[in-house]
Amino acid sequence: MWPASGRDDQSLYRTPPTVSGAKDFSMIPITVVDVADAEPLVVEVLRSGSIAQGRMVKRLEDAFAAVAGVPHAIAVNNGTTALVASLQALDLKPGDEVVTSPFTFVATLNAILEAGATARFADIRLDDFCIDPDAVAAQITDRTKVLMPVHLYGQTADMGRLAPLAAEHGLHLVEDAAQAVGATFEGKPAGSFGTGCFSLYATKNVTTAEGGMITTSDDALADKLRVLRNQGMRARYQYEMAGHNYRLTDLHAAVGIPQMEKLDQLSEARRRNAEALTKGLADIAGLTTPSVLPGRTHVWHQYTVLVGDDAPVTRDELAAKLTERGIGNGIYYPKVVFDYDCYRDNPGVVAGDVPVATRVARQALSLPVHPKLTDAELETIVANVREVFGA
Ligand SMILES: *Cc1c(COP(=O)(O)O)cnc(C)c1O
């Protein structure tokens, strides 16, 4: 059973109508979907008559494998199924535990439950919003089978400590890299440390509308995932396992290929925007701008500030005032992932004490950082945040 994801909230990535009382500029959206340059490839697929999984999917897989620096990429139909399939391929038993972040999109948790495993949560760090290696160590039990860090907002978790920790305890490493295509840790790409799981949802840095990708260096795992994706079928009607239909379509893959080809430019535009925001906002008392930690490249899926408890406004007040002023913003995420009634009595959810994640859920606000922002829009964002803070 899957709790509703709330993804029918289309306002996440569409420009809302101008709010009454807004100044004479139109809304600056938190995300813009720009896939117009995919038209020739999409039309090619439409005209070819072969629209399901085929050569466009293969092209997208090759592009992902190259970016993740691994030999294998397996396309699937969304980021959640990338996580589910990666866990299913490990043949987890009931009671097997996955240690993950409490500060993530709900898909991370839902995937663990879907795979029949138990989720345990290690608190995050305040400087990267990702799982804290010390907290992870404290959550490892003799039932722990998988470590699943989430590379949140476009920056990897501390893989320099997490990868050795997983190895030392004999844990599988599954990276929720949904927000981190192109990010690196000490030169190694997200998705190359373990099994990498990416999302190609409409709001992600690279999108196919809906879509997902799994990356791995493990030949046997890649083979198993390909069979699992296709009803457990290697050749037609030859079933090797109870599988599923996790396939992506050529129509969707065609949308993503041009973005993969210009990924460096897209990430660079996000980086430039993030730098402009930090330059304009870093000195505001009560506001903490996001850090890029040494050795990591950030691909800025989100630019997320913290509104301190000592600030002149609360996070929610800042969000409301920015919306009034036509500045798109988003709260990712308003609560820690397990803190909902639907998970309260679920034996697969081991709630824990996560003070840093709880604090960040109260203080975090994401501002627009997408590649389509103009210099004028960046200035408008900065000026409005400063005004609200009286800075
Ligand atoms: C988007 C996202 C997912 C799920 O991806 P879908 O393609 O929407 O299924 C999983 N984890 C995180 C952290 C995400 O941001």
Which two tokens mark 44?
């090619």
Residues forming beta bridges with residue 118, ordered by sequence position: 97
Q: What is the second-level CATH architecture of the domain 263-389? A: Alpha-Beta Complex (3.90)
Task: List the residue whose alpha carbon is closest to atom 10 of ligand 1.
Answer: 107
Give 197-252 pLDDT, tens digit per residue.
999 999 999 999 999 999 999 999 999 999 999 999 999 999 999 999 999 999 99
Q: Which of 10, 87, 6 is closest to 337 using CA atoms?
A: 6
Sheet holding 364-367, edge to edge: 287-288, 303-307, 364-367
Q: State if residue 179 touches ligand 1 by the CB under 6 angstroms criterion.
A: yes
Q: What is the rounded CA–CA span in Å between residue 268 and residue 140?
A: 37
The answer for 255, left when phi > 0, alpha when psi is -120 to 50, beta otherwise, is alpha
- Would you state the pLDDT for residue 22? 44
Nearest atom, ligand 1, residue 210 CA: 7
- Would you state the pLDDT for residue 355? 98
Q: State if residue 121 touches ligand 1 by the CB under 6 angstroms criterion.
A: no
Q: What is the rounded CA–CA span in Å between residue 335 and residue 357?
A: 8
Cα 176 to ligand 1 centroid, rounded to whole Å: 8
Give 289-310 pLDDT, tens digit per residue.
999 999 999 999 999 999 999 9
Task: List the residue whose alpha carbon is closest to atom 5 of ligand 1.
Answer: 79
Q: State if residue 107 touches ligand 1 by the CB under 6 angstroms criterion.
A: yes
> What is the DSSP track for 324-383?
HTTB--B-S-SS-TT-SHHHHT-TTEE----HHHHHHHHHEEEE---TT--HHHHHHHHH
Q: State if residue 199 touches ligand 1 by the CB under 6 angstroms criterion.
A: yes
**Tens digit of pLDDT at every position of the chain (391 positions):** 333 344 444 444 444 444 444 444 589 999 999 999 999 999 999 999 999 999 999 999 999 999 999 999 999 999 999 999 999 999 999 999 999 999 999 999 999 999 999 999 999 999 999 999 999 999 999 999 999 999 999 999 999 999 999 999 999 999 999 999 999 999 999 999 999 999 999 999 999 999 999 999 999 999 999 999 999 999 999 999 999 999 999 999 999 999 999 999 999 999 999 999 999 999 999 999 999 999 999 999 999 999 999 999 999 999 999 999 999 999 999 999 999 999 999 999 999 999 999 999 999 999 999 999 999 999 999 999 999 999 9
| Phi, psi for 129 (deg, rounded to 5) | 60, 15
Query: Domain extents for the chain?
Result: 36-261, 263-389
Neighbouring CB atoms inside 10 A of 313's CB total: 16
Task: List the residue whose alpha carbon is closest to atom 2 of ligand 1.
Answer: 178
Nearest atom, ligand 1, residue 301 CA: 15
Question: Which CATH number does the domain 36-261 belong to among 3.20.20.70, 3.30.450.40, 3.40.50.1980, 3.40.640.10?
Answer: 3.40.640.10
- Would you state the pLDDT for residue 26? 81
Axis-axis angle for helices 375-389, 315-324 (nearest 10): 130
Axis-axis angle for helices 79-88, 219-229 (nearest 10): 120
**Model-level pTM?**
0.94
Nearest atom, ligand 1, residue 212 CA: 7
Neighbouring CB atoms inside 10 A of 195's CB total: 30
